[in-house]
Amino acid sequence: MSSALTSTIETETVSGWEAQLDLKFAVQVNKTVLSARQQRGPLAVQRAFYPEGDVCHLYILHPPGGVVGGDRLYINVNVGQQANTLLTTPGATKYYKSQGDTAHQQQRLTVDEGAALEWFPQENIYFPGAKVHLSTHIDLTPTAQFIGWEMHCFGLPANQQKFTEGRLQLDFMLSRNERPLLIEKMNVEANKLESPTGLRNNSVMAIFLATPVNYSMLEMVRTLLTDDNNVLIAATLVEDCLLVRYLGDSTEQCRKIFTRLWGELRPLVLKRKACSPRIWAT
């Protein structure tokens, strides 16, 4: 846990759930297995699936009732050398209106030499009045591979409920060989979402990442992306890391775009055909 997060938690009233999930993956008998697991509180995993034979597909289960102010969730994932793991969640993570305290979720993902991690959580939904500090840190070794996304939905656009009150701190960091490639710290204040420097009145913001990627792959990705009046989307390359940013109003639309990108990039980055988790079909 970072010192900044520790300090924030210690200054607030302790209430709500405290949960932690530690997962380690390793290669055993020519396939990736969940070699170690520690959990406490309402964070868990289902049994592993092997639709591809050697790649471990695993579903992370968040608190069934959602996350409220005062909850503290910690997810730590280590993918060992040469292991291949795909992680997703069965549904969206919902952050409900706070009665005063901030909900904290910290995710630390480390990928060792020659290993690959695919990280596909469903969207984070922030109900009006939510107070959340979400921190994601991905640490890659020089030969590690990664494809993943993070999607945020502010309010409940399908129900015409905007994020009119609340406060969010969204931190995201991607490092390779302990050297930062991407550092983002975004403070979301409900009364500023409609401004040009905010989200331009959009309710969904997301990022898709893949590495290692070269310039020809970037050009291929750009041919798959189209801007229209309802969505802003663009792709760029930071060293060997592809970044695709989405700004719009539909998590379903965003998920379809990102899933298509994954389907095209997976054979190029991971040398494997796309194999969707079973849970995505339900």
pLDDT at 17 over 70: yes
- pLDDT of the residue at 201: 80
Report, as an integer, the average pLDDT of 197-216: 90
The pLDDT tens digits of the residues spanning 139-184 come to 999 999 999 999 999 998 888 888 889 999 999 999 999 999 999 9
- pLDDT of the residue at 10: 36
Report, as an integer, the average pLDDT of 5-10: 34
- For the chain, the C-alpha Rg in angstroms (whole number) is 18
- pLDDT of the residue at 142: 97
Give the chain's mean pLDDT.
90
Residue 229's pLDDT band, with cuts at 50, 70 and 90, is low
Place of tokens 């999930």: 21
> Do residues 243 and 233 lie in contact, with contact meaning Cβ atoms separated by under 8 Å?
no
Report, as an integer, the average pLDDT of 88-111: 95
Residue 219's pLDDT band, with cuts at 50, 70 and 90, is very high
CA separation for the pair 165, 129 (Å, rounded): 5
pLDDT at 191 over 80: no
Residue 107's pLDDT band, with cuts at 50, 70 and 90, is very high
Residue 195's pLDDT band, with cuts at 50, 70 and 90, is low
Type of residue found at 177 = N
In three-state secondary structure terms, 180 is strand
Pairing of strands 204-211, 145-154: antiparallel
Q: Both ends of the chain: CA-CA distance in Å?
A: 35
Instruction: Work out how many domains the chain is built from and give that number.
Output: 1
Phi, psi of 182 (to 5 degrees): -150, 125
Q: Which two tokens stand for residue 182?
A: 């991407």
Do you find a cis peptide bond into 212, omega within 30 degrees of 0? yes
- Distance from chain centroid for Cα 114: 21
Report, as an integer, the average pLDDT of 5-29: 71
Report, as an integer, the average pLDDT of 259-266: 97
Within 8 A by CB and 6+ apart from 179, the residues are: none
| Residue with more model confidence, 27 or 189 | 27
Residue 231's pLDDT band, with cuts at 50, 70 and 90, is confident
What is the value of pTM for the model shown?
A: 0.92
- pLDDT of the residue at 193: 72
- pLDDT of the residue at 11: 36
The pLDDT tens digits of the residues spanning 232-253 come to 999 999 999 999 999 999 999 9
* Sign of torsion over alpha carbons 131, 184, 158, 67: negative
- pLDDT of the residue at 100: 86
Range of the domain at 65: 3-281
Where is average pLDDT lowest: 64-78, 95-109, 169-183, 217-231? 217-231
Report, as an integer, the average pLDDT of 180-205: 82
Residue 116's pLDDT band, with cuts at 50, 70 and 90, is very high
Phi, psi of 202 (to 5 degrees): -85, 160
CA separation for the pair 101, 130 (Å, rounded): 9
> Do residues 21 and 46 lie in contact, with contact meaning Cβ atoms separated by under 8 Å?
no
Within 8 A by CB and 6+ apart from 183, the residues are: 172, 173
pLDDT at 199 over 80: no
pLDDT at 261 over 50: yes
